[in-house]
Amino acid sequence: MRSIWKTIIRSSLILLSVMLLVSPLSAVAAEIGKSYTVGMISVKTTVLNPLLALERDFQSLHSLIYESLITLDDDYQPQPCLALSWKTNDGITWTFTLREDAVFSDGTRLDAYDVAATVNEIIRRAKDDTTDNKGVYASMRYTVAKAQANDAKTVVITSTRPYYGFLYAMVFPVLKQEEVQADYPVGSGPYRAVSFSPGNFLYLSVNEYWREEAPMVSEINAFFFATNRELTSAYEYNRVDAIITRSVTTAQYRAGVSALNMDYRTRQLEVLLFNLKAYELEDVRVRKAIRYALDPDALSQNAYYGMTSRTNTMFPANSWMYYDASEVDGEPYFSYNLERANLLLTEAGWEDTDGDGKRDMIRDGKKVNLSLRLWVYEEAENSVRVETANAIRDQLSKAGIEVRVTTLSFGLTRERLQAGNFDLCLAAFQMDSVPDPGFLLYGPNTGNYGRYKSETMNNLITELRKCRNEKGTEYKQLLNEIQAEFARDCPFVCLYFRGGAVLTRMLYTNVRDVREPEVLKGIESIGLD
């Protein structure tokens, strides 16, 4: 690697030239040049191995250095990357044929033995009880059993389930077989790491063995910051060309004349969990009433300044997986409807008998109020989750539902969820690339904190995991049925996917769907048309 001092000098010259040439008012019209400087929060990452990623923003850099067997296009459909083609006869054994022009940045050819070694290392680490870091691709163990190279060109990957969703697990970065546990493995992507100082900077240059035309942006400088205040300050003073952030404090810059704003979707799904063992929430009419009484758009605008992507289910609303329905079984699909919420609560036996604004009923000979505990955990550096919980409390109060908000640590919240000690909980799930919501909905699965049990739902998920239709049509139909059943039972409420923002003075991508973790995807293709 190049020495740290040379990199610092080079980076300083780049930053100085940016500050001299780009003024705040004219910067938005600037064209991207040979060098691009991006800022982000990074305080945990000490190695470059993408299998051990600790920070989601940092993964945008990994995606420029490493490649996967397949990639997901703007429509979330699998497309060839390192694998030119794939086939299966039984949905269990998948044979991938690799492209012959894939080369690591050290000049060695990428082959099937590298793919097999990477897969088996991911699964090994995921099952290793001696380490806390199971790896960012640990969920692969639920879809992949093993991998074996037939020869240098073909690799056979055995699935644990005979289903189409398996393909979506093939987005893992491929490493050299002898470097799967290395701190600084080489990659086969358009860029290579030249110098890395944890917490300070990462300098990337073009991979000279890259099989495509050399990127016009030949140098990418990533500078790391410990706080959002430092990050936004670097952008304000032209120290970086762009920043990647999920902080809502950046919203004030999104409409500025000196910045192009590109919203991106994260995989973080915000939900309101119900404990179906709580007597107040056993009745599906109460759960639906809560859903109708909530206004997610208002929650998003007030707490997150619109940095969210609305969804009624576990999937992004702009994807082929999403069940876009106006009604289910003649009942309006979930949307804000306070009148309907009040009607359902009354039907369920909850009325305001004493005029105090709180609904009540007689239970076991005693009057009880419809009063629910809402747990919420804190977020570092901001209070948006707590603000959202308080807004939920205020919205539900309009339907006569009393909500008592309590802020806990993340660890304590998780303990109470696992013990079933809650009524409501405002939480988030990091959704996997595989379109399978079974971990949230199937019987006793670990993500099913609400203790939801449905034979119909279990059967649908079982069928989904047997669906081998490679074109995805049958798979999509099953996903639609799962989401329709989700609407009928309302085991929890999906609010939105959290969003992030790239504030940039230069347009660096033509990608239509900018999403995590490939936030910088497309920078290697700018100017090559």
Domain ranges of the chain: 1-56+189-241+505-529, 67-188, 266-498
pLDDT at 3 (0 to 100): 38
For residues 436-449, average pLDDT = 91
Determine the pLDDT at residue 512.
86
Residues 300, 310: contact at Cβ < 8 Å? yes
339 to 335, 346, 352, 492, 493: CA distances (angstroms): 11, 11, 15, 20, 18
CA distance 242 to 413: 35
The pLDDT of residue 78 is 93
Asked if the peptide bond before residue 517 counts as cis, ω within 30 degrees of 0, the response is yes
Q: What pLDDT, in 10s, does the model give residues 355-386?
A: 999 999 999 999 999 999 999 998 766 688 89
Q: Which residues contact 325 (CB under 8 A, 6 or more apart)?
A: 333, 483, 484, 487
pLDDT value for 446 = 82
Q: Which of 194-208, 280-294, 304-318 has the lowest mean pLDDT?
A: 304-318
**Which of 252-286 are b and which e, b meaning 16 or more Cβ less than 10 Å from the residue's Cβ?**
ebbeeebbbebebbbbbbbbbbbbbebebbebebb
Residue partners of 48: CB distance under 8 A and separation at least 6: 62, 65, 183, 184, 185, 193, 196, 202
Per-residue pLDDT of 249-283, as tens digits, reads 776 666 555 668 888 999 999 999 999 999 999 99
Mean model confidence pLDDT for the chain = 89
3-class SS of residue 69: coil
Q: How many angstroms separate the CA atoms of 95 and 115, rounded?
A: 12
Mean pLDDT along residues 92-111: 96
Stretch 4-17: mean pLDDT: 35
Can you tell me which residue has the tokens 């709180």?
358
For residues 410 and 416, what is the distance between their CA atoms, to the nearest angstrom? 10
* Mean pLDDT calculated for residue range 28-46: 81
State yes or no: pLDDT of 16 exceeds 60. no
User: Among the ranges 253-257, 485-489, 515-519, which has the highest mean pLDDT value?
Assistant: 485-489
**Residue 248: pLDDT band with limits 50, 70, 90:** confident
Please say whether the beta carbons of 467 and 164 come within 8 A: yes
284 three-class SS: helix
Structural tokens at position 155: 């690799």
The pLDDT score that the predictor gives to residue 259 is: 66
Angle value at C-alpha 323, between 320 and 325, nearest 5 degrees: 130
Paired with 268 in beta bridges are 430
Choices 3.20.20.70, 3.10.105.10, 3.30.70.420, 3.40.50.300: CATH for 266-498? 3.10.105.10
Q: How far is residue 254 from each of residues 76, 299, 384, measured CA to CA in Å? A: 26, 19, 18
* Both structure tokens of 102: 């894939």
For residue 337, name the pLDDT band (cuts at 50, 70, 90).
Answer: very high
Q: Which two tokens stand for residue 500?
A: 């992030």
Strand ranges (DSSP E) for 117-259? 144-149, 154-159, 191-197, 201-206, 219-225, 242-245
- Whether 414 has a pLDDT exceeding 90, the answer reads yes
Place of tokens 């920078």: 523
- Please work out, in degrees rounded to the nearest 5, the angle formed at the alpha carbon of residue 120 by the alpha carbons of 119 and 121: 90
194 phi and psi, to 5 degrees?
-100, -45
Report the C-alpha gap between 221 and 242 in whole angstroms.
11
Between CA 210 and CA 219 the distance in angstroms is 14
CATH class assigned to 67-188:
alpha beta
- pLDDT, one tens digit per residue, over 463-477 is 999 998 766 789 999
Distance (Å) of CA 75 to CA 317, 321, 513: 11, 10, 8
Pick the CATH number of 1-56+189-241+505-529 from 3.30.379, 3.40.190, 1.10.3470, 3.30.1460: 3.40.190
What is the percentage of the chain residues whose pLDDT exceeds 70?
91
Q: CATH topology of 67-188 equal to that of 266-498?
A: no
Q: Are 241 and 21 in contact (CB under 8 A)?
A: no
Residue located via tokens 């998920």: 461
The residue among 126, 230, 104, 238 whose CA lies nearest residue 174 is 104
Number of other residues whose CB lies within 10 A of the CB of residue 333: 15
Residue 10: band (very low, low, confident or very high) from pLDDT cuts 50, 70, 90: very low
Tokens of 523: 């920078």
What's the pLDDT band for 4 if we cut at 50, 70, 90? very low
Q: In this structure, are residues 143 and 161 in contact, taking their beta carbons and an 8 Å threshold?
A: yes
- Tell me: pLDDT of 422 over 70: yes
Q: 382-397, pLDDT tens digit by residue?
A: 688 899 999 999 999 9
The pTM for the full model equals 0.89
Question: Above pLDDT 90, what percent of the chain?
Answer: 75
> How far apart are the C-alpha atoms of 219 and 36, rounded to whole Å?
6
